[in-house]
Amino acid sequence: MGRGDLLLDGMKRLLWCICVGLMVLSWLPSKARAGTCEDLAKLRISNTYIHKADVVTHNAFRQVLNHEPIGELPVFCRVVATLRPSADSNIGVELWLPQRGWNGRLLGTGSGGFGGFIFYEELAAGLRKGYAVVNADMGLSVPPEKDQAVFANRPDRWVDWAYRSTHVMTIFAKRIISVYYGRGASHSYFLGCSTGGGQALAEAQRYPEDYDGLIGGAPPNNRTGVHLSILWNFISTHRSAGAYIPPAKALLLEKAVVAKCDGLDGVRDGIIADPRRCHFNPATLQCTGSDATSCLTAEQVKTAQLLYSGPKNPRTGQPLYPGVTLGSEGDWIISFGRPNDVQPPFAPIFEWVFGTQWSWRTFDFDKQATEFVRELGTRVNSIDPNLDRLADLGHKLLIYHGWGDALVMPGASVDYWNAVAARTHQTPDSYYRLFMVPGMYHCSDGPGADNFDPLSAMVDWVEHEVAPDQIIATKYAQSGAVRFQRLLCPYPQIATYRGHGDINQAASYRCVQPKAQKGQK
C-alpha cells in the first residue's frame, strides 16, 4: 500500500470517528450543549412547548395567580412548558432546577382537587431540600368564570387528569435534568397528598418505572367512588331543612365518640387509634324534648347514620364506597359544605357524564351511579391491585391516610391494601407500606399528630434498604412548641401504649399486630 493509500485510509478513519463522535454527542445530554438556563428554552422536544427558562434569584419569585411572594428560595432555573401528548391535551408544567447544591435527585410533586394550576408551595418545599422538583396542572386549567364542566365530552382531558399528565411531566423533567446538569437524576421520588396521593397510586400501577419511590397521602385513586361518596354525603346533609348537622353539633358528636372509644389503645389521650374498633350509636344523643345544642334531632341522627354507612345501591344494598369514620366529625364542615350551598363539591364531574341537566336532588344511586362508573371508571380510576412490576423493579410505594379524613374515606386505603395482599396471598411489606394516622383529617390537621416526614423515610428505604418499620409523628402548638408525639405503624399494626412512660412521647408506644375484631378486615 502506497503513501497515498495510507493517507486516504487515514482520512476515512478520521471521518468515521468524527461521524461517530457527532452521533454520540447528539444523544448525550451534556450541559455543555445546553449552555445556560436560558438555552433550555431553545430545546426542541416532540409535543412539548417550552415557553421560558430563566434564572430566578433570591426572593424574586411571586406566584402566578395571586402574585404573592413564596418566601426565601435558593437561586434556581425555572422552566415553564406545555405538554400535549394528545390532540386535546394542554398540560402546564413547571420544573425548578437548583443552580447550586443539587442533591442529584428528582422530586415529582402532586396536585389537589381538579388541579388546574401549578402548586408552587410544593415546588418551593422540594427546592429548599435540594431537589430538582416538578409540578403539573394536570391539564384541567379552566378559562376565567368557567369550571371543570367545560371538559364534558373531552375524554383525553379526563385521562390527562387521571394519570397521563403525571407520566409525561416526569419524562419531561428527566430529559431536561439530563441536559441541564449533564447527567440524569440518581434517584427519582414522587410526593403528593389528596389528588397527589391518587397520582402516586396511578404511577405505581401504570408507570412503575418512573419513580424509585412513590409517596401518596389520602389517595382518591377510586375517583368515581370518591365523588359518589361526596355526593352521598352532601345529599344526606342537605336532603331537608332539618338534616344539616351544624359545626357545634358535629363537635358534640365527636366528643361523645371519643369519650366512648378513646381508651381502646391503652391510653386516654383524646385520639381514637383505630375507629373500626369503635362502636357508637348516634341515637344515644337524640333529643328527648325540643331541639337543643346539647342533643341531635331525629333528622340529624338519621343524617349521622347515613354518613357513617356510606353510599349504597338502594336496590341491591351493595356498598359503593366506605362511609365516614367515627372520630372524623370535626372535619365535616370542610367536606360536606354549608347549609345554604346549592351544589355539592366537585359537581362538574357529574356534568361530564350527565350534562348540565343533571340534578343532585334526583340522583339515582342505582342506575345513575352505575352509568357514572361505567363511563368514567376505566379512565379515571387507579384501583388495580397488581403491583408486580413495581415489586420486580425494586421500587417502593408508601401510602398514608388520616383516620379522621372526611373527604377521601380512609377505609378505601385499607381496602386497597387488603386487595393487594389478597391477590398475592402475602403482605406486600417489601415494596408497599400503608400508614394510617390516628386523629388526622384530610392530609393534615385534626387532634392527632399530623407532622411527619415520609420523604426521608422513603429515601432511606430506597437508597439504604432501611424499610420504615415506624414513623414518628408530631403535634405542634401554634407557638411551634411540641405538644406530643406518636408512632405511626405500617398497616395492619397499630401503636399501643406500653403501659408506662410519658404518654406524650413516641417512645412510650410500640407497634403491635391487633387482634381481629368482629366485622373488621
pLDDT tens profile 138-159: 999 999 999 999 999 999 999 9
Percent of the chain with pLDDT over 90: 84
Q: Which of the four pLDDT bands, split at 50, 70 and 90, describes residue 439?
A: very high
| Residue 32, pLDDT score | 38
**Residues 455, 133: Cα–Cα separation, whole Å:** 13
Q: Looking at per-residue confidence, does 24 or 248 come out higher?
A: 248
| Residue 1, pLDDT score | 47
Q: Which CATH number fits domain 34-220+398-459: 2.40.30, 3.30.1280, 3.40.50, 1.10.3470?
A: 3.40.50
The answer to whether the beta carbons of residues 52 and 80 sit under 8 Å apart is: yes
**Residues 250, 282: Cα–Cα separation, whole Å:** 11
| Residue 60, pLDDT score | 73
Q: How far is CA 41 from CA 34, 38, 49, 51, 96, in A?
A: 9, 6, 9, 7, 14
174-213 per-residue burial string, b: 16 or more CB within 10 A, e: under 16? bbbbbbbbeeebebbbbbbbbbbbbbbbbbbbbbbebbbb
For residue range 1-20, list pLDDT tens digits in order: 444 443 444 444 444 444 43
Which distant-in-sequence residues (6+ apart) come within 8 Å of 301 by Cβ? 282, 283, 285, 286
Q: Is residue 273 helix, strand or coil?
A: coil
**Residues 385, 272: Cα–Cα separation, whole Å:** 29
| Residue 161, pLDDT score | 98
Q: Which of 83-87, 357-361, 511-515 has the lowest mean pLDDT?
A: 511-515
For residue range 248-297, list pLDDT tens digits in order: 999 999 999 999 999 888 899 999 999 999 999 999 999 999 999 999 99
Q: Is residue 354 helix, strand or coil?
A: helix
Is residue 449 scored above 90 in pLDDT? yes
Q: Which of the four pLDDT bands, split at 50, 70 and 90, describes residue 24?
A: very low
| Residue 262, pLDDT score | 92
Percent of the chain with pLDDT over 70: 92
- Average of per-residue pLDDT across 408-436: 97
The answer to whether the beta carbons of residues 134 and 170 sit under 8 Å apart is: yes
Give the residue from 160, 145, 64 showing the smallest Cα distance to 114. 160
For the chain, the domains span: 34-220+398-459, 225-379
For residue range 325-379, list pLDDT tens digits in order: 999 999 998 778 788 888 999 999 999 999 998 999 999 999 999 999 999 999 9
**Residues 305, 388: Cα–Cα separation, whole Å:** 39
| Residue 520, pLDDT score | 52
**Residues 39, 194: Cα–Cα separation, whole Å:** 35
| Residue 11, pLDDT score | 45
- Average of per-residue pLDDT across 455-474: 98
C-alpha cell of 470?
Answer: 415506624
* DSSP for residue 518: T
Is residue 48 scored above 70 in pLDDT? yes
Ordered alpha helix ranges (H), 321-395: 332-336, 348-354, 367-380, 388-393
**Residues 54, 17: Cα–Cα separation, whole Å:** 36
- Average of per-residue pLDDT across 182-203: 98
Is residue 432 scored above 80 in pLDDT? yes
**Residues 341, 361: Cα–Cα separation, whole Å:** 13
**Residues 343, 359: Cα–Cα separation, whole Å:** 9
| Residue 28, pLDDT score | 40
Query: What does the mean pLDDT of the chain come to?
Result: 91
| Residue 27, pLDDT score | 37
CA 273 to chain centre: 22
Q: Which amino acid is at 197?
A: G
The answer to whether the beta carbons of residues 477 and 247 sit under 8 Å apart is: no
| Residue 36, pLDDT score | 86
| Residue 516, pLDDT score | 62
Q: Which of the four pLDDT bands, split at 50, 70 and 90, describes residue 84?
A: very high
Strand pairing report for 91-98 and 76-83: antiparallel
Which distant-in-sequence residues (6+ apart) come within 8 Å of 473 by Cβ? 437, 448, 449, 450, 451, 452, 485, 486, 487, 488, 506
